[in-house]
Structure 1
Amino acid sequence: MNQDYIKVDPWSIIEEGFDAKQVKSSESLFSLGNGAMGQRANFEEEYTGETFQGSYIAGVYYPDKTRVGWWKNGYPEYFAKVLNAPNWIGIEVLINEELVDLNTCKSVREFKRELNMREGWYQRSFTALLQNGVEISVRSTRFLSLDIDAVGAIKYEITPLNQDVEVIIAPYLDSGITNEDSNWDDKFWNTTNVDSEGSQAFIEAHTMKTNFATCTFMEAKLFYKGSPVEMKPHLKKTDSLIGLSYKQKVEKGEPFTLHKFGGYTVSRDHKESELVQVAKDALFSATTLGYEGLLQKQKEAWAKIWEMSDITINGDVKAQQGIRFNIFQLNQTYLGKDSRLNIGPKGFTGEKYGGSTYWDTEAYCLPFYMATKNQQVAWSLLEYRYNHLEKAIENAQKLGFKNGAALYPMVTMNGEECHNEWEITFEEIHRNGAISFAIYNYHRYTGDYSYIPKMGLEVLIGIARFWHQRVNFSEDKQQYVMLGVTGPNEYENNVNNNWYTSYLAKWCIDYTLEQLEIVKEICPKDYARIISKTNLTITETDDWAKVAGNIYFPYSEKHEVFLQQDGFLDKEMIKVEDLDKSDRPINQKWSWDRILRSPYIKQADVLQGFYFFEDHFSKESLEKHFDFYEPFTVHESSLSPCVHSIQAAKLDRMDQAYTFYLRTSRLDLDDYNKEVEEGLHITSMAGTWMSIVEGFGGMRILNNQLCFTPRIPKQWESYAFKINFRNQIITVTVSGQYTSFEITEGKELSIQVNDKPVSLIPGKVVQA
C-alpha cells in the first residue's frame, strides 16, 4: 500500500492534518532549492519529535574517510558527503514563556502544508493549543530566491486566538549541526566567528579537510498589526549559535509577524575575507525589495521557467501533479548557472548517495536540460566532465590502467572516485559509456559540433583507451571478452560479458574513431593539438578497431535475445509475477547472496542499451528483448520505470506505458520504494519527462531531423509540451484526434511525424 496523504492538485503539493509519522516524509516532499542551496521542509520552530534536519550548500562537501572491513588496492580513500550546513531557518517561539513545539502541544488542528510549484514557495499553517491553555494560529511561508540565490526568506506569523499574550520570538543561526549520514562521526564544521550587528547576525564556519569557508547570515524585520516594529533584540550567543530575541505584548486576534532573511555566502564564489560583506550586500538587496517584493520576483522567475518547461495534461490530475513535481524539483536542483556543479541523485533533499554526481546526469538528465533550457546549460554539464578528465585518468591509473586511459568515477564531487562499494567502484564501469553517449547525444540534438574538437574528443580518447585495455582476448572464443563487471542491474555483481557494458565499449571505440576522422578533416588545428597532447598513434587506433570489430556478445539462440551476461540462463527463471508478495521488495527482504543468484533485474540493463541505441535494432528485436527481460525486472531502482515506459510506448503497449509513467512520475509522492523520508529521487525525475516527450510524444532525432510518433494514454484527453530544438521553440499538443505543432520562436523547420514530412512555419499551428 502506497502512501496517499498527499492531496491531488495540478499545481501544488498539499498535506492536511498533522501526523508525526509523516513528518520526515513530508520534509523530503516539500523541500526547497534554488540551484545554489536547498533545504528539507523542517519546521522553523522547535520540534522534539522525529525529524531529519537538512540544509545544504551546492558544491560544499566533506571527504568522509572510507569505512570498510577489508581494504583493497585501488579503493577510494573517502566517500564525499554533502554536508548538513549551518541552519538559518530556526525560530524559537515562546507564548507566555511556553515553547511552541508541535510534539508537546495539547492539540494541533487545521494543520496544512502547501508547496506551490507554480510560484516557488512553501507554506505551513496550524492552530495549536499549548499546555498553558493558550491557543494560537501560525502561518509560515518561505522560499529560496531565484533572483538573489544566496538568500531565502521566511514570513512567520503568530496570532493568539483566545487571550492576550506575551510572545518571545527569537530567530537564530546554528552551526552546531551534524550529518545523518557519517562514517566515523567526524566533526565536519569548525565555527570561527559568531557575531551580530543590530538586526543582523553572522556565523563564519569552514568545513574540515576541504576548507570551504562559509558565512551563514540572517536579518530580522518585525511587524505588529501590519506595521513595522522597531525594538532592540536581546542577544543569545554561544560558540556555535546566535539568536536575536524579541518580546512583544500581542492582543487576542492580532498578528505578530517576523520577516526573516537568511542564507549563505561561500568561498567557492568569493574571497574568504569578504564573505560577511557579501552577506551584508545580499541582505541589503533583499530587504530593499522587502519580503513581498522578493516574493514577487520569485513568482516572475518561476513563471519564466514554467513558460518553457511545463507539460500540461488534461483529464488526469494525478499524472499532471506528478510531472510538474518532477519538473519543479529538477529546476530547484540545477539551473545550469555554474559548470562546477552537477545533479546529485537526492539534490538538496537528503544525504543518501553523498549528494554526488552519478552517471544519471548523462544518461537521464541531459535530454531534459537540452530541451527545456538553452544549449549552454547542457554544455555546462559536458564541460563538468571535461574539467575532470585528468582526475578520470588518475582514477584509471590507481586501478592499473596506463597511457591516458580514463575511468570516470561512479560517484564524485571533484572528479575523484569516492564510491566505496567494491563491486560498483571497480566493476560498474558502464558509466564511462554514458559520458561518451552524452557527447554524441548533445551533438545529435543541438547540431552544435563545437564541443567535440574543443573538449569532447580528448574525453572520448581517454574512454576508448580504457575500453581497449579493459578487455582481453579469449583464446577459447577467439574474441575479446569483458570479465568481472557489474551492469546497470546491480543485482548481479562480478559477472562476465555483461552485454550492455560490452556493447557500449564497442560503440564508444567506433564513435571515437569516427570523430577523430571528422575533426582531422574540419578542425585540423584542434586535431593537431589533441594528437600532440594525447600522443595518439595510428598503431594505437588500429588496435582499438581490432577490439571493436571482435567483441564477444553472449546470445541465446533458443530465446533469440542477447543475454544480460554469460550465466544468466543458469539461474532459476521464476518470473516476478510468480514471486510471493511478502518477498517484495527483494532488496529489503532477501539476503544479498540470494539476490545475486536470482534472475531478478533491478533496472533496465539490456533494455538500457536498446534505449540508447534504439536505431541499431528493429522494433521486432526490441519487442523480443522487452518480453524476455521485463518479466524478470523488479523495478527497484528509481531509474527503471521511465526506460520501460518509453519502450512500452514504442511497442504500442499504452496501458503498460501509462502504468510505468505513473510509477516514475509519482515515485516519491506515493513513496513506492518506502524510503522517501531519506530524500527525493531527483535524477530519475528527468526520466519522467522523457517518458512523456520521448515515450508518448515519440520524439527522436533521426538522420539529423526532428521526428515524432505521438501516442496518448486513454486516461488523458490531451497533453502538450515545449522543446527548444536548435534555438527554435516548438509547442507540441497531442490529443486523441490529432497532433498539432507550432513554432513560437525560430524559423521554418521540416520535421517527420509518423514517418511523413511536415513543414512548420513560425506562428502557424500545423496539424498532423
Structure 2
Amino acid sequence: MQNDIDNMGSMITLAAEPWCIRERAIDPARRFLHETLFTLGNGYIGMRGTPEEGSHGRKDTLEGTYLNGFHDTEAIHYPENAYGLARINEFMLNVPNAKRIDLFVDGERFALDSGRVEAYERMLDFRTGLLTRSLEWTSNSGKRVRIVSRRLVCMARKHVAAVEYAVTPLNFSGTVRIVAAIDADVTNLQAGDDPRVGSAISGPSLQLVERRLDASSQLVLQRTRHSGFLLASATDAMLAGGKQAPVSALEGGHAFDVDAGQGQTVTLHKFIAYASSRDMLEAEVADFAGAEAARARTIGFEALAAEQAAYLAQFWDEADVGIDGDDALQQGVHFNQFHLLQSVGRDGKTNIAAKGVTGEGYEGHYFWDTEIYVFPFFLFSRPEIARALLQYRYNGLPKARERARQMAHAKGALYPWRTIAGEECSAYFPAGSAQYHINADVAYSIRLYLLATGDFDFIAQYGAEIVLETARIWIGLGSYDRQGRFCINEVTGPDEYTALVNNNYYTNAMARMHMTFAADVAARLRAERPDDYARVAAAIGLEPVELDAFRAASSAMNLPYDAELGIHEQDDSFLSKKPWDFAATPQENYPLLLHYHPLVIYRHQVCKQADVVLALLLLSDQFALDDKRRDFDFYERVTTHDSSLSSCIFSVIAAEVGYRDKAYAYFMETARLDLDNTHANTEYGVHTAAMAGTWLGVAYGFAGMRLDDGGLRFAPTLPYQWRAYRFKLHVRGALLEVAVDAGGADYRLLQGERLALAHRGKAFELNATQNSIRMGDLA
C-alpha cells in the first residue's frame, strides 16, 4: 500500500486557536519544527514532540529528552592559546528516551512512514498540559487501528512524566503487541558551522553502568563521561484491555501481547522518572527514580492529569495575558507563556536556558537573558520562581569569584556570560566574556525584586552578598581619565556586532546603577540589620572605603553623549565608524554573523540588537522623552535585529515615544516568532528571551508600566488592532488586575490590603474600601 504521509500536509500551518496548538496532518517539511513546538516540560524534564514510536532512522528529526542543568563537560581546545581563556565547556545532554513505545499489529510494525495514515490530529493544550495525538492507520496488509496517545510532564512532580497509549482494532480481531522501552542509545546534535544549533561534540557522553528489568519496571543507570554525574532513567508500565499473555522481558523493555477483538481498546500506561546525582546523593539516585515511577503508577494517569490541570489553572488565573481582537496573537502569547513555565528552573540550582528544554541550541547554556528578559515575567506572575532564579545566582558565587581571579580582579565576583554550572563556557571572548554587563544585569534583577516584593529578608540573607561582590568588579575594571571621568574600557555591551570598546553606554549606565544600589543596600543593612551587615562584611572582607569608592565612581561615570546629534553614543568610537551599507546587503546575508568575519562587522556602525535602546527601558527615569525619541530614531536605522532579543525592546520604546505602528510591528515580530519560525531556527529550540519579551511588550510597552524608586506607574495605550487587553501583577504582596479598552483603563485590587500606583501621572491608592478605579484617558 502506498504511503500517503508525504502528501498529507505540505502547506500545513497551525490553526489560530487561543489555548492550544493543533496540527491536523503531518507535514514532513515542518516535522523538525513541530517537534520543538510540541515539546512538553516542567522546568526540569523536557521532551520534544516526537512520536512515541520513534523516528525509525529519519534524518529530519531530533529525538530529544533533556534535564535542565544535567550536563557533561569537555575541554576547550585553542590552536592559539592565551591566559585566562575559558577552559571547560558545559553542555546539556540528550538523555535516554523513556517515552519510547513500539506497536505491532499482527506482527506488522506501526510507523507513520509506512502503511497509510487515514486520519490524524495532534494537539498541545495549554490549559491541561497534555499532548494528545489521535490517528487511524491501515497497515500494508489492510488492518486498520485507531491509536490515541496522551502525554504529560508533571508540573507538580519535578522528576515524573507519563504516557497513555490506547490501541483499538477497527476492522479485525488479532494480536496487538505493545513494547514499552527505554532507548538509551542517544547522542547530541552536532552544531556544524552554526554555533546556535547544538554542541561541537561527537559520539555518546553517557556510559552504561547497569540496566535492570523487573516484572513491569525497568531502570537504566548511566554515568556522564567527564562530569561524572550518575543518571537514572526509570519506567513502570501497566496494560489494560483484551486477553493478555504474560509480559515478556526484552533487551531494553517489556513486551505486552494481547488478543484484542474488533472495537476493543487496549491501553498501556507508562510512568517515567529521571533523577541524577546533580539533584541528590549518588547512592540515592537509582532507588529514588524507581520509587518515583512506581508512585506515579499507583497514583494513575487520570489523577496525574487532573493534578496537572489544577496546577495550570492556578498559573493561568494569575499569569494570563488576555487579548481581545486577534486569535492568532492570543495563541502566540499563551504559547510563549506556557513554554516559559515549562522551561524555567525553580529549585535554586537551575536557571532557564536560551532554548529552554526544547532543543540543544546554544548547548543548553544560561545567559543574561534570564535577568533582563525572563525574570520580570516571573517576578510579576510567580514571584517564588523569580526568587529561585536569584538563588541560582547566589549558589553560583563561588565559581564567579574564581572567574574574577582568573580575570585579574583581586576582589569580587564575575558571573560568566554563558554557563550551566558556573564555569565560563564562552570560547569566543570578544562577544562573550567581554560582556561584563552581566554583573549589573544580575544586580538589576535583585533591585527590581526588592522594589516589587519588599522582601528585604532575601537581600539580607543572599542578595547583599551578590550585589556587593559583583559591584567590586567595576572598581577593579574601571579607572579615572584626565578629565576625572570614571571610564570602563575594553568591554562588549549587549550588541554583539560591536565588541571590545571603551565606555559602552549600556555597561557604564548599568554599572552606575549597580554601584549606587550596592552602597544603598549596605547602608540600609547597616542601619536596620547591623548583625547581618557584620556577617556579610566579614564573609567578603568588605571595607567602608569600598562603599565610598562605589559612590564616587557612580557620580563620575562617563556616559557618552553626542550633543550635535542629541543622542547617547553607544561607545566612544561608534559614531566614528563607517555605517553599514544595508542597501548593498542581500537579504540572504542575514544574519550577518553567518556571512561576514567578525572584524568586518566590528569595523562598521551596525547593531545586532538593542543596546542603548535597552538602557532607555531599564533606566527609564533617567532619560527625557525627547532623548528617547532621538535615540530610537538613530539606532533603529543601524540595527539588523539579527538577535531575537531585539524586537521586543524596540517595541516597548516605540510605544513610549508615540510610534504606535512601529510598536505594534515590532511586537508582532516577537509574539509569534517561534510559532511562525521567523528566525528560521526554531527547530533547534524556542527563543525563551523573545517569549518573555512578548510579556514585556504588553506590560512595559502598551500598558506603559514602570517600577522604580518613584513607585509603580502606568501609561496605557490600546493598539488599533485590539478591542481590549488585560493582565495581572503581583506587587508588594498584592495582586493587581489591569484591563484596558477603548474607553480607558481599569485597575482592580484582587488580593492585598492596599497598593499605591499612578496612571499617566495621577497617583492613587487601591485598598479594601476602594479596590478598583476607572481611568479614562489613554494616549
TM bucket, shorter chain = over 0.9
Note the C-alpha offset of 1:750: 3.0
Q: Which residue of 1 aligns with 2:179?
A: 170
SS at match of 1:158: strand
Change (3 A) 1:6 1:394: same
Change (3 A) 1:110 1:760: same
1:52 to 56, 62, 82: 62
Note the C-alpha offset of 1:340: 1.1
1:378 to 364, 375, 386: 386
Change (3 A) 1:744 1:552: closer
2:658 to 648, 652, 656: 652
Give the counterpart letter for 2:330 in structure 1.
Answer: Q
Does structure 2 retain, via aligned residues, the 8 Å contact 1:359–1:410? yes
Q: Which residue of 1 aligns with 2:6?
A: none
Does structure 2 retain, via aligned residues, the 8 Å contact 1:62–1:82? yes
Does structure 2 retain, via aligned residues, the 8 Å contact 1:234–1:244? yes
Please give the TM-score of this superposition, normalised by the length of structure 1: 0.94
Q: Which residue of 2 aligns with 1:608?
A: 614
Map 1:152-167 onto structure 2 (within 5 A): 152-167=161-176
Q: Distance in 2 between matches of 1:178 and 1:580?
A: 36
2:24 to 16, 23, 26: 16
The gaps in structure 2 that reach 5 residues or longer are 1-9, 190-197
Q: Which moved more, 1:567-576 or 1:613-622?
A: 567-576
Q: Are 2:90 and 1:80 equivalent residues in the alignment? A: yes
Q: Which residue of 1 aligns with 2:757?
A: 751
Q: Which residue of 2 aligns with 1:355?
A: 364
Q: Which residue of 2 aligns with 1:316?
A: 326
Q: Which residue of 1 aligns with 2:703?
A: 697
Q: Distance in 2 between matches of 1:668 and 1:184?
A: 26
Note the C-alpha offset of 1:87: 1.2
Q: Which digits, 9 at most, give the CA deviation of each residue in 1:695-746, with x for residues without a partner?
A: 1122222445321111111111111111111111111111011211221211
Give the counterpart letter for 1:709 in structure 2.
Answer: A
Does structure 2 retain, via aligned residues, the 8 Å contact 1:577–1:631? no
1:525 to 527, 531, 547: 531
Map 1:169-568 onto structure 2 (within 5 A): 169-180=178-189, 181-185=198-202, 187-224=204-241, 230-237=244-251, 242-334=252-344, 336=346, 338-373=347-382, 375-402=383-410, 404-475=411-482, 479-568=485-574
Q: Distance in 2 between matches of 1:125 and 1:73?
A: 57
Does structure 1 retain, via aligned residues, the 8 Å contact 2:424–2:433? no
Q: Distance in 1 between matches of 2:17 and 2:569?
A: 44
Note the C-alpha offset of 1:575: 7.3
Q: Which moved more, 1:595-604 or 1:320-329?
A: 595-604
Does structure 2 retain, via aligned residues, the 8 Å contact 1:654–1:712? no
SS at match of 1:6: coil
Note the C-alpha offset of 1:317: 0.7
Q: Are 2:120 and 1:111 equivalent residues in the alignment? A: yes
Give the counterpart letter for 2:108 in structure 1.
Answer: E
SS at match of 1:7: coil
SS at match of 2:43: coil
Q: Which moved more, 1:204-213 or 1:294-303?
A: 204-213
SS at match of 2:579: coil
Q: Which digits, 9 at most, give the CA deviation of each residue in 1:655-698, with x for residues without a partner?
A: 21111221111110011110011011123322211111121122
Give the counterpart letter for 1:217 in structure 2.
Answer: A
Q: Which moved more, 1:669-678 or 1:364-373?
A: 364-373
Note the C-alpha offset of 1:51: 1.1
Q: Distance in 2 between matches of 1:187 and 1:10?
A: 40
Note the C-alpha offset of 1:67: 3.8
Note the C-alpha offset of 1:544: 4.0
Give the counterpart letter for 1:207 in structure 2.
Answer: T
SS at match of 2:46: strand
SS at match of 1:485: coil
Change (3 A) 1:575 1:721: farther
The gaps in structure 1 that reach 5 residues or longer are none
Note the C-alpha offset of 1:478: 5.2
Does structure 2 retain, via aligned residues, the 8 Å contact 1:480–1:551? yes
Note the C-alpha offset of 1:441: 1.0
Q: Which moved more, 1:282-291 or 1:574-583?
A: 574-583
Q: Distance in 2 between matches of 1:333 and 1:582?
A: 32
Does structure 2 retain, via aligned residues, the 8 Å contact 1:37–1:57? yes
SS at match of 1:174: coil
Does structure 1 retain, via aligned residues, the 8 Å contact 2:244–2:258? no
Map 1:3-42 onto structure 2 (within 5 A): 5-42=13-50
Q: Distance in 2 between matches of 1:507 and 1:701?
A: 15
SS at match of 2:444: helix
Give the counterpart letter for 2:54 in structure 1.
Answer: E
Does structure 2 retain, via aligned residues, the 8 Å contact 1:444–1:704? no
1:595 to 588, 591, 601: 601
Change (3 A) 1:407 1:208: same
Does structure 2 retain, via aligned residues, the 8 Å contact 1:148–1:286? no
SS at match of 2:220: strand
Aligned length: 755
Q: Distance in 2 between matches of 1:4 and 1:566?
A: 50
Q: Distance in 1 between matches of 2:278 and 2:200?
A: 25
Does structure 2 retain, via aligned residues, the 8 Å contact 1:485–1:498? yes
